Amino acid sequence: MAALNDTGWAKINLALHVRARRADGYHEIETLFAFVDGGDAIEATEAHADRLTIDGEFAEGLSAGADNLVLRVLALLRERYGASRVPPLAVRLTKHLPVAAGIGGGSADAAAMARLVRATFLPELGDATLARLTGTLGADIAACVASATCLGVGVGEELSPVPQLNLTGTPVLLVNPRQPVATGPVFAAWDGIDRGPLFTGADLRAQLFASRNDLQRAAIAQCPAIVDVLTELGALRPWLARMSGSGATCFALFDSPAERDTAAAEIAQRHPAWWTMTGLLR
C-alpha cells in the first residue's frame, strides 16, 4: 500500500464567546471556527503494529505513545469498525504548528488521522459521522474533521454552517510568541460574566467586529506577550486581528496577500524569535 497523507489544518477562532460555566467543569461557548491552508503533516503506511513517530520543529516533548490523540483516534475507529477493516499503521506526524497555542494542533492532527483512515478503509463515512465518533475525544476535533468555517456551540462540538461567512481565500497571518498557554487554566480563570451572544448581522465585517474572544484577558494573565503580539499586528492595519482560542497565537486578516506578506516580513524583522505562518483561509 502506498503511503497515505493528510494535513492537520490550523484552526482559528474568529470569535469565542463564553456564555456559562457548567456543573461538569466545561463551558457553554459560541465560537466561529475557521481554518488555514497549512498545518501539521500526517503520513501512514500499513504495518505489523501501530507505531507513531513525531518530528518537525515542535516535536520535542510530545508523547508518541497510545495516549497521543492520533493513536487514540486510530484505536477508536478500529474498535468501532473492526481490525479487519482498520489495519495497524505506522504513522509519522510532522509538527509544524506550535503546541498549546490555541490553533487546535492536537485536535487537527486527530481529525487528519480520522480522514486518512476513512479515505482508504472506511469510505462510507461522511463528515458528520466521523465528527460524531471522534468528537468524543475532544470538543474541537469535530470541527477539525471538515476543517471549514462553521459555528460551534455547546462545548464547541455542536456545529452548523455559516454560509454568510464566505471567507475562503482570505489572506491570514498567524503569530505566536513561542510561549505555550494551557487551555484548562485559561477557561478556569474566565471571570464568569456572560457578555452576550455572537452578533448575527448580515454584514460580514460588522459581525466580526462586534464579536470578541472572552478568554483573552485570562490568557494574557498567563502570557503577557499576547499583548505585544496584538499590538504589533494592529499596527500593521489588518481588517481584523484577534487572539485565537485560549492563546497565545493571534491572527490577522488582510485584504490581499501582498499586505499579509508585508506584515509578515515586518513581524519577522522586529521579532525574529516569534513563530509566524502565512496562508489563506480554507
Residue 9, beta-bridge partner list:
39
Q: What is the pLDDT of residue 201?
A: 65
Please give the Cα distance from 53 to 65 (Å, whole number): 9
- Three-class SS of residue 4? strand
Catalytic residue among 11, 40, 95, 214: 11
- Backbone CA torsion sign across 198, 168, 276, 179: positive
Residue 7, beta-bridge partner list:
41
Instruction: Yes or no: say if 252 and 278 are a contact pair by the CB < 8 Å rule.
Output: no
Residue 239 is given by DSSP the state S
Q: What is the pLDDT of residue 202?
A: 67
Cell of 33: 471556527
Per-residue pLDDT of the chain (282 residues; tens, 9 = 90+): 789 999 999 999 999 999 999 998 889 999 999 999 999 999 999 999 999 999 999 999 999 999 999 999 999 999 999 999 999 999 999 999 999 999 999 999 999 999 999 999 999 999 999 999 999 999 899 999 999 999 999 999 899 998 888 899 999 999 999 999 999 999 999 999 999 999 766 677 788 888 999 999 999 999 999 999 999 999 999 999 999 999 999 999 999 999 999 999 999 999 999 999 999 999
Closest by CA position to 117, among listed 77, 167, 67? 77
Catalytic site includes residue 255:
no
Q: What is the pLDDT of residue 99?
A: 97
Residue 233 is given by DSSP the state H
Catalytic site includes residue 11:
yes
Backbone angles phi, psi at 246, to 5 degrees: -95, 15
Query: What are the chain's domains?
Result: 4-161 (3.30.230.10), 171-280 (3.30.70.890)
Catalytic residue among 6, 40, 140, 214: 140
> Cell 508523547 identifies what position?
63
Amino acid at 82: G
